[in-house]
Amino acid sequence: MEGGALALRLSRQAAYLMDAVVRAKRDAFLQKIGTRPLVMGILNLTPDSFSDGGRFQAPGAAIARAEKLVADGCDIVDVGGESTRPGAAPVSAEEELERVTPVVAALAPRLEAPLSIDTYKAAVAARAIELGAILVNDVWGLQKDPAMAETVAAGQAALVIMHNRAEKDDGLDIVADIRQFFDHSLALAARADIPGDRIILDPGIGFGKTSRQNRDVIARLARLTDYRLPILIGTSRKAFLGSLTQDGAEASPSGTIAANLAAAAAGAAIFRVHDVAENVAALRVFHILRAKATR
């Protein structure tokens, strides 16, 4: 069966399989956005992710890791079966499904926190929704797989639209490029009847951008708030952070926390991270201080 036809069949199934418990998890997550900073914990089921590739491929290790992310305070666990780092080898939908299906099936009924699926393939998204994922985190913002928008709509899932580029271009006004990309993705979402209150925007830190452009996105993040949609930021352990420290290290939590606090001050609502406990603590302090300052 062709990938598009498979995705359509699965998406139609998913529309009937998002039961009341899963819908309640979806709605509870969406309703929390804006009440305080939310943290998305990263669960990579890949052998080649830039930071933790190979550590959580085995289902038992993946389940234990997800439980630790939730215990550390994350609001949603983002499950990914294909590395999207620069230079990573693409994998087929079949291989990605082999990686994510047993883990999503085990975690969806087990975890108190909801699950999202990190994929740009409609067939993978549809299967994850069918198994209980409440959100599709698409690093190509509905623009890679023509079946994705209908899959998300039919599955009644929430959606992260992330900006991406096939190649870097240092001459671009990166915020203008992000806006053009978002406008196209939002048109695709509207055409598929994906409700606006289920959409989150991600400017795609580290994806098709130079180090300078990554910094520029965070500095100018407030220019994206006029979409009146929640903004997700994924700076965790990204290489550009190393260029901002004297030792050049990007893997320590400190650079990620600093970048996330800057993004929070500019209007970001959700933060995708590897180091959940440290970011939860920092963002909680930020939120309390910000709330007191605005009284």
pLDDT digits (tens, 9 = 90+) for 155-189: 999 999 999 999 999 999 999 999 999 999 999 99
152 in Cβ contact with 127 (< 8 Å) = no
> Residue 25 and residue 9: Cα distance in Å, rounded?
24
pLDDT category of residue 84 using cuts at 50, 70 and 90: confident
What average pLDDT does the chain have?
A: 89
Reply yes or no on whether 238 is catalytic: yes
Does pLDDT of 103 surpass 60? Answer: yes
Catalytic residue chosen out of the listed positions 220, 237, 272, 292: 272
Task: Please give the share of the chain, as a percent, with pLDDT higher than 70.
Answer: 85
> In the chain, what are the domain boundaries?
3-11+35-293
What pLDDT is stored for residue 244 in this prediction? 57
Distance set, CA 227 to CA 148, 197, 258 (Å): 22, 12, 25
Known catalytic membership, residue 272:
yes
Q: What SS3 string covers 229-279?
A: CCEEECCCCCHHHHHHCCCCCCCCHHHHHHHHHHHHHHCCCEEEECCHHHH
Higher pLDDT, 237 or 198: 198
Active-site hit among 237, 238, 284, 292:
238
Residue 76, phi-psi category: left (phi > 0), alpha (psi -120 to 50), beta (remainder): beta
Q: Quick one: average pLDDT of 95-117?
A: 96
This prediction's pTM: 0.89
Averaged pLDDT, 240-266: 78
Phi/psi zone of residue 128: left (φ > 0), alpha (ψ -120 to 50 degrees), beta? Answer: alpha
CATH of domain 3-11+35-293: 3.20.20.20
Q: Which SS3 state, helix, strand or coil, does residue 135 take?
A: strand
pLDDT at 144 over 90: yes
Tokens matching residue 61: 């290790």
Looking at residue 19, its pLDDT comes to 85
pLDDT tens across 42-61, in order?
A: 999 987 544 554 566 678 88
Instruction: Quote the tokens at residue 203.
Output: 């400017």
Provide the pLDDT for residue 16.
46
Average pLDDT in the 273-285 region?
Answer: 97
Whether 1 shows a pLDDT value over 90: the answer reads no
What pLDDT shows up at residue 87? 66
Residue with more model confidence, 15 or 150:
150
